[in-house]
């Protein structure tokens, strides 16, 4: 009889992953719990026993942390010393070019190139840093793709988060290529593209996990993974030199809400056949253990809903369909109606229901405009704004700017998300304001209201062990995340010389003779400001920074260039620099200085308007710095009379 194929048991897998931790816990169990007898003197010292019992555990943890740190140092040293192995230039080679997602969070985009064929994995955006004043979003520089547009065979999307699809409308303006993704991702992409009416009708092809797509010399296989948005996929890309696996964002959830666990058997099959290169998510590489299951949030929601006699407002990421489903389910369980607030939440509800990813309990959903028809203890509102975005629904509720929802005493606010790194201040400012209004706010520091959608160390090691790649390139994270992930790869048997810490625009080349970095391509960030894409440069940002820090002084003067005389003014206008009514003396001095400078320039026969303005700007700026030690932006306006 043929040997029966073993099926993967998720629960058994999870137990095995935690076996070592459980054994260690048992080893350090206090003697009293093991049934040993204590002398009489020990009984008097009972209060100190827990601290003494924890001492071996703390020592073991410190030793484990020290070993991990030593391993990271060894990995870093090995990576620095590894020999440069550039493939034979005479042979065809695979080129791997990250255009985003390395040494940063977000803006994910990776290019695979072989011969005359290119495929692109993801097209994400990121939010601007504090120094990018007035900028709406940041997207990858696709100059290289524009230059080789005739070689691009398609764009493949791993999932529907903004850091993987946010740049797509701007990319499709330049590249008229097909897009391949799963059904939910396609639904959200179509909504996004509908907001950009200048685009040609995009060619979006829906695929499901297990499907394979031929794109030039590449064959791309969709593999189901778990993440904080439904329908997420990894890609196994068959190339002429071997298989490349791009995990995208993933975790290993043994009890997923939709019942579809990550396809570990298929990943194991790929590992047995041989994986040339693994490009793996590094976001949670610093976190030990495993990411908690999404069902954990459902348990926390149930505890918060149970016995609550007020209105409940839940803020979450709109794209987390499974979280939204759990909120609807627990609300229905306790006889509550559910309304949603926020455009992105309304969009995900529409797409999720239409495609069957959301199943709303009967007679539960109501329109937000109808909430006044129901008692507050029978209401739940699902809203956007978990990250404290100034225009989001929850933020407007906190600062009394929401038309339908007025937060006050008796309301319970559940923030089912953790602040994105760097975004803590606006989130906690919003939470403070909600507390000021008398609401009961429950957030991640007070309860398990959120679980990560990214793999932690044990999951990353499982992926490495299943796929057993020859080459390993950590992706999606800042440099520290990439380095820690590299150390996990080394611990799982990847040779240090085969681990590549790359950067945006850096080209990794691979063929049968080896792998190594070889040059770079144009790359960086493109700033989107309103309808403008890429037209905001360093000069504009410097001026915006100067305006934000020191304000502006405008010198307006009417001049007759034929008679070379001042007709009116100069008038001095201050914005963001000094309150004019409290600085009349300084304003008078500036008017005198500007008039003298203009008269001297006109008497010297200066005819260039730009030269006259530059002279006035310089004299006024120097005078202000001498008087105030401040450097406002000075602008001179010459009105020819």
pLDDT in tens, 494-548: 999 999 999 999 999 999 889 999 999 999 888 887 666 766 666 676 767 777 7
Between these two residues, 596 and 212, which has the higher pLDDT value? 212
% of the chain beyond a pLDDT of 70 = 82
DSSP string, 497-532: GGB----TTEEEEEETTEEEEEEE-S--EEEEETTE
Residue in the structure block whose two tokens are 């069957």: 356
Whether 89 is in a domain gets the answer no
Q: Where are the alpha helices (DSSP H) in 604-640?
A: 609-628
Q: What is the DSSP letter of 201?
A: P
Tokens, residue 155: 């764009």
How many C-beta atoms lie closer than 10 Å to residue 543's C-beta? 14
* pLDDT tens per residue across span 66-114: 666 666 666 666 665 555 556 666 678 999 999 999 998 889 999 999 9
85: in domain: no
- Give the 3-state secondary structure of residue 331: helix
Averaged pLDDT, 267-280: 96
Q: In the sheet that 117-121 helps form, which strands lie side by side, from edge to edge?
A: 204-206, 179-181, 152-156, 117-121, 109-114, 94-100, 506-511, 514-520
pLDDT band of 450, cuts 50, 70, 90: confident
Strands of the sheet with 633-640, listed across from one edge? 565-575, 552-560, 633-640
243/391 same-domain check:
no
Both 344 and 266 in a single domain? Answer: no
Contacts of 85 (CB under 8 A, 6+ apart): 497, 514, 515, 516
For residue 285, give the nearest of 54, 477, 491 by alpha carbon. 477
For residues 435 and 460, membership in a common domain is answered with no
The answer to whether the CB of 142 falls within 8 A of the CB of 169 is no
Q: Is the pLDDT of residue 29 over 50?
A: no
- pLDDT-derived band at 124 (thresholds 50, 70, 90) equals very high
- With a cut of 60, say whether residue 11 has pLDDT above it: no
CB 576 within 8 A of CB 551: yes
How does DSSP classify residue 82? P
Question: Which of 474, 501, 529 is the C-terminal boundary of a domain?
Answer: 529
pLDDT of residue 27: 40
CA 555 vs CA 202, 222, 352, 591, 635: distances in Å:
50, 62, 57, 8, 6
Identify the weakest region by mean pLDDT among 2-6, 197-201, 340-344, 556-560: 2-6
Flag the least confident range among 207-216, 265-274, 619-628. Answer: 619-628
Which domain CATH number covers 580?
Answer: 3.10.20.580
User: Do 262 and 135 reside in the same domain of the chain?
Assistant: yes
What average pLDDT score do residues 44-70 get?
Answer: 62
pLDDT surpasses 90 at 266 = yes
Instruction: For residue 140, count CB atoms less than 10 angstroms from its CB and return exposed for 0-12, middle for 13-18, buried for 19 or more.
Output: buried
Instruction: For residue 200, give the 3-state DSSP assignment.
Output: coil
Dihedral sign for Cα atoms in the order 314, 320, 323, 329: positive
The structure's pTM equals: 0.78
First to last CA, the chain: 102
CATH assignment of the domain containing 428: 3.40.50.10710
**pLDDT at residue number 531:** 66
User: If you average pLDDT over residues 135-156, what whole number do you get?
Assistant: 92
What integer is the mean pLDDT of 279-307? 92
Report the CATH number at residue 489.
Answer: 3.60.15.10
Would the pLDDT of 49 be above 60?
Answer: no
For residues 405 and 491, state if they share a domain.
no
Domain end position, chosen among 442, 464, 482: 442
At residue 369, the pLDDT reads: 92
β-pair partners for 559: 566, 640
Q: Which residue bears the tokens 């006699």?
A: 309
DSSP for 2-61, please give it. PPPPPPP-HHHHHHHHTHHHHHHHHHT--GGGGTPPPPHHHHHTGGGHHHHHHHHHHHHH
Helices (H), 252-311: 264-273, 295-305
Asked which of 183-197, 262-276, 466-480 is least confident by mean pLDDT, the reply is 183-197
pLDDT band at 234 (very low <50, low <70, confident <90, very high): very high
Q: Are residues 463 and 393 in the same domain?
A: no
- Report which of 86, 87, 153, 81 is spatially closest to residue 116, judged by C-alpha positions: 153
Asked if residue 133 and residue 204 are part of one domain, the reply reads: yes
Does 224 fall in a domain? Answer: yes
Do residues 304 and 390 both lie within one domain?
yes
**Measuring CA to CA, which residue among 244, 181, 169 is closest to residue 475?**
244
What is d(CA 596, CA 559) in angstroms, rounded to the nearest whole number?
13
- Residues of the chain with pLDDT > 90, as a percent, come to 54
Query: What's the pLDDT at 582?
Result: 64
Q: Tell whether 57 is covered by a domain.
A: no
Of 6 and 569, the one with more pLDDT: 569
Structure tokens at 112: 């695979």
Backbone angles phi, psi at 559, to 5 degrees: -130, 140
Residue 508, token pair as written in the block? 């990794």
> How many independent structural domains does the chain possess?
3
Q: Are residues 522 and 541 in the same domain?
A: no
Question: How much is the mean pLDDT over the chain?
Answer: 84
Do 151 and 182 fall within a single domain?
A: yes
The DSSP code sequence of 142-199 is -HHHHHTGGGEEEEE-S---HHHHTTHHHHHHH----EEE-HHHHHHHHHHHHT-TTS
pLDDT higher than 60, residue 489: yes
Beta bridge partners of 209: none
Confidence of residue 3 (pLDDT cuts 50, 70, 90): very low
User: 566 and 641 in contact (C-beta within 8 Å)?
Assistant: no
Beta-sheet strand order (sheet of 471-475): 212-215, 218-224, 233-239, 242-246, 277-281, 471-475
- Please state the rounded mean pLDDT for residues 19-46: 42
Domain-located, residue 84:
no
- 123: in domain: yes
| pLDDT over threshold 80, residue 341 | yes
Q: How many CA atoms lie within 13 A of 599 on its CB side?
A: 10
Q: Which residue among 529, 562, 596 closes a domain?
A: 529
pLDDT of residue 51: 53
| Top-confidence residue, 56 or 232 | 232
Could you tell me the CA-to-CA distances from 209 to 72, 248, 609 in Å, in that order? 35, 14, 66
**Which residues contact residue 430 at a Cβ distance below 8 angstroms, ignoring those fewer than 6 apart?**
385, 388, 394, 395, 398
Predicted local confidence at residue 198, as pLDDT: 76
| Residue 606: domain span | 537-640
The yes-or-no verdict on residue 19 having pLDDT over 70 is no
Question: Is the confidence at residue 47, as pLDDT, over 60?
Answer: no
Residues designated as active site: 281, 454
Predicted confidence at residue 4, as pLDDT, reads 44
Segment 163-218, tens digit of pLDDT: 999 999 999 999 999 999 999 999 999 988 988 877 888 899 999 999 999 999 99
Helices (H), 274-415: 295-305, 321-333, 343-355, 393-398
Is the dihedral angle over the CA atoms 59, 17, 493, 483 positive or is it negative?
Answer: negative
Residue 310 host element (H or E): none
On whether residue 126 sits in a domain, the answer given is yes
Contact 242, 235 (CB under 8 A): no
- Which residues partner with 364 through β-bridges? none
Does the pLDDT value for residue 388 go beyond 50?
yes
3-state secondary structure of 273: helix
Tokens of 280: 């793996």
Q: What pLDDT, on a 0 to 100 scale, did the predictor assign at position 515?
A: 93
Mean pLDDT, range 404-423, rounded to an integer: 87
pLDDT value for 564: 72
Do both 558 and 504 map to the same domain?
no
The DSSP element (H or E) to which 428 belongs, if any, is: helix 424-436
Do 396 and 507 sit in the same domain of this protein? no
């Amino acid at each position: 009889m043929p040997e029966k194929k073993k099926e993967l048991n998720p629960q058994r897998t999870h137990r095995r992953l935690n076996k070592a931790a459980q054994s260690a816990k048992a080893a350090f169990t206090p003697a009293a719990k093991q049934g040993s007898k204590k002398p009489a003197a020990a009984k008097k010292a009972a209060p100190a026993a827990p601290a003494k019992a924890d001492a071996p555990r703390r020592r073991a943890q410190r030793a484990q942390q020290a070993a991990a740190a030593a391993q990271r140092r060894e990995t870093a040293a090995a990576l620095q010393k590894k020999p440069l192995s550039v493939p034979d230039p005479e042979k065809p080679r695979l080129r791997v070019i990250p255009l985003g997602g390395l040494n940063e969070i977000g803006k994910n985009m990776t290019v695979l190139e072989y011969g005359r064929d290119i495929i692109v994995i993801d097209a994400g955006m990121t939010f601007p840093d504090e120094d990018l004043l007035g900028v709406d979003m940041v997207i990858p520089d696709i100059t290289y793709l524009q230059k080789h547009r005739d070689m691009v065979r398609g764009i493949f999307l791993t999932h529907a988060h903004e850091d993987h699809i946010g740049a797509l409308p701007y990319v499709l303006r330049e590249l008229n290529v097909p897009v391949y993704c799963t059904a939910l991702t396609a639904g959200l992409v179509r909504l996004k593209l509908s907001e950009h009416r200048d685009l040609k009708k995009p060619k979006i092809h829906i695929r499901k996990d297990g499907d394979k797509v031929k794109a030039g010399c590449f064959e791309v296989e969709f593999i189901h993974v778990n993440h904080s948005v439904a329908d997420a996929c990894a890609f196994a890309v068959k190339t002429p030199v071997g298989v490349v696996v791009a995990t995208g964002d993933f975790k290993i959830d043994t009890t997923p809400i939709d019942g579809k666990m990550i396809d570990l058997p298929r990943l194991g099959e790929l590992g047995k056949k041989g994986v040339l290169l693994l490009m793996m998510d590094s976001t949670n590489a610093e976190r030990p253990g495993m990411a908690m299951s999404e069902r954990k949030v459902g348990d926390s929601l149930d505890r918060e809903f149970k016995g609550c006699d007020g209105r409940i407002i839940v803020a979450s990421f709109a794209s987390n369909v499974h979280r939204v489903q759990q909120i609807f389910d627990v609300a229905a369980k306790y006889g509550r109606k559910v309304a949603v607030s926020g455009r992105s939440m309304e969009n995900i509800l529409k797409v999720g229901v239409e495609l069957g990813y959301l199943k709303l309990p009967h007679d539960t959903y109501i329109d937000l405009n109808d909430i006044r028809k129901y008692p507050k203890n029978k209401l739940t509102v699902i809203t956007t704004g978990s990250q404290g975005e100034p225009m989001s629904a929850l933020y407007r509720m906190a600062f009394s700017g929401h038309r339908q929802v007025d937060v006050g005493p008796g309301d319970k606010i559940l923030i089912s998300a953790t602040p994105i790194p760097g975004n803590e201040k606006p989130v906690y400012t919003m939470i403070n304001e909600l507390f000021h209004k008398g609401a009961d706010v429950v957030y991640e520091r007070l309860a398990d209201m959120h679980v990560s959608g990214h793999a932690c160390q044990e999951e990353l090691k499982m992926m490495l062990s299943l796929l057993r790649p020859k080459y390993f390139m950590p992706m999606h994270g800042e440099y520290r995340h990439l380095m820690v992930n590299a150390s996990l790869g080394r611990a799982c048997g990847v040779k240090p010389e085969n681990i590549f810490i790359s950067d945006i625009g850096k080209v990794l080349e691979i063929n049968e003779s080896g792998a190594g970095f070889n040059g770079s391509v144009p790359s960086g960030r493109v700033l989107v400001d309103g309808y403008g894409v890429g037209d905001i440069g360093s000069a504009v940002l410097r001026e915006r920074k100067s305006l934000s820090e020191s304000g502006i002084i405008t010198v307006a003067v009417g001049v007759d260039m034929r008679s070379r005389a001042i007709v009116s003014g100069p008038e001095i206008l201050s914005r963001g620099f000094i309150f004019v009514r409290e600085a009349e003396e300084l304003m008078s001095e500036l008017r005198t200085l500007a008039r003298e400078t203009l008269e001297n320039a006109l008497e010297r026969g200066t005819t260039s308007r730009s030269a006259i303005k530059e002279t006035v700007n310089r004299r006024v700026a120097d005078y202000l710095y001498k008087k105030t030690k401040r450097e406002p932006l000075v602008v001179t306006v010459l009105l020819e009379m």
